[in-house]
Structure 1
Amino acid sequence: MMYPYMTLNDNTEITHSEMKPDGRVKVYIETPVYGGFHDATCWLPEYTWEFHGYSETEMSYFKQLIRDNAHLMMEFSQEGGSSYAR
């Protein structure tokens, strides 16, 4: 299951999964664009990334944003998401 975490001003959605049995959490970023979406996936706590359509500048921003919020997403992943996102 994916839980909403944050929506940015450009309608980019950031969601995270529950914590997997191996302790990993999937973070998914999706931005609507004409004809589809740009998307990125980050696995915490390793910070391994896959992305499609985003520029290096955009990815630099997202990587910092996830690093700054990873501790919260890891915590919320064990509690069924953030109470603020409900």
Structure 2
Amino acid sequence: MMYPFMTLNDDTEITHSEMKADGSVKVYIETPDEVGGFHNATCWLPAYKWENIEGYSDTEISYFKQLIRKNAHLIIEFSQEGGVLNAATS
């Protein structure tokens, strides 16, 4: 299951999985494009392993890398609590 984490001003959605048995968390980034498709990328925490990058420029990926690094502690915490919405009610 993927949980919402953040929506940026350009409608980019950042979601994350629950924490896996090995301690990893999948972070998925998706931005709608002008032709009805999506740009997307996946980052695995805590290793910061990026994969399946499609449609983003190097500058955009650099921005996302910084954003995920600055928020990784929150994403990892929320991944253990059923997402930010469940963490907020705990």
Shorter-chain TM-score category?
over 0.9
Counterpart for residue 47 of structure 2: 46
Please, which runs of 5 or more residues in structure 2 have no aligned partner?
none
Percent identity (aligned): 78
The runs of 5 or more residues in structure 1 that have no matched partner are none
Q: 2:57 aligns with which of 55, 58, 69?
A: 55
- Render the CA deviation track for 1:38-57: whole Å, top value 9, x for unaligned: 00000000000011110000
2:87 equivalent to 1:82: no
The Cα shift of 1:4 comes to 0.1
Cα distance in 1 between the residues matched to 2:78 and 2:23:
13
**CA distance in 1: counterparts of 2:7 and 2:36, whole angstroms:** 20
Segments ≥4 residues shifted beyond 6 Å: none
Query: How many residue pairs were aligned?
Result: 86
How far is 1:35 from its partner? 3.1
Q: In angstroms, what is the RMSD of aligned CA positions?
A: 1.6
* Normalised TM-score (structure 2): 0.91
Which residue is equivalent to 1:9? 9
Where relative contact order (Cα < 8 A, 6+ residues apart) is larger, the structure is 1
TM-score, normalising length: structure 1: 0.95
SS in 1 for 2:9: coil
